[in-house]
Each structure stands twice: as C-alpha cells, then as structure tokens.
Amino acid sequence: MYLASGILLWFIGQSGTNHIGASGLIYAVAFFLFVGSVREGNRNSMALSFFIILMYGSMIWGLTPFTVQANVSWEGHLSGAIIGVILALYVYKDYIKPQELYTEDDRPFFERHPIDI
C-alpha cells in the first residue's frame, strides 16, 4: 500500500509541496477497511471504519486541495485513498467465512462412548 500510493503520488503530485510522511498509507488503510467492509456487507465493520474516517481529522476533507494548508500534500492523501479503494475492490478476499452450524451429534469426534471399568 505504501509503495503503491507513493508511486501514484509520484505521477499526480505537484512540485513545491512536501510529499513526506505516512498519510498516504493511513488513507490507504482507512479506505481499504471501509470499502472492504462495504463489499463484505458487515454493518458493524462498516460503521466503525466510517467513524474512523470521520474522526481521524475528517479524512474526507483532506482529499481536496481547498481544505488543507498550502504546503500539505493533499495529493498524497488522494493517492492513498485511491490505492485503498483499488486494493479493496480487486485484491480483497473474504478471508473469514461464516461457519456452518453444527451440533455435537453431527461430528464423530464428539461421539460419546461408554467407558468400561
């Protein structure tokens, strides 16, 4: 994420602006989590990641050139957000699958055997 957002920043960044720090990575992770939770359909995860995006310095406002200071790289924020969305849409997989419901009778490991004494 960090490398990809840096490469994208190298293409879209303007000269005369400081393009340093980890804000691209932070934006990439935040937007990856939000879009991944939207894809998953998990409302709790969606609400939590959206809350993080809003509370972490109003990340939405950091994507535009009109709301940040002149020497802050809003392009770095934008490139991180773009990379996070791309990775969430094309690379993210459902790693946690819902487990099937079972009872102890369905699994032979849990069968009860009489003990001979």
pLDDT per residue rounded down to tens, the chain (117 residues): 888 888 898 898 887 777 888 888 999 998 998 888 888 888 888 888 888 888 876 788 888 888 777 777 888 889 999 999 999 998 876 555 566 665 555 555 555 555 656
Identity at 114, one-letter amino acid code:
P
What is the DSSP track for 36-55? HHHHHT-HHHHHHHHHHHHH
Q: Which two tokens mark 86?
A: 């791309």
CA distance 81 to 110: 48
Residue 18 sits at φ, ψ, to 5 deg, of -75, 115
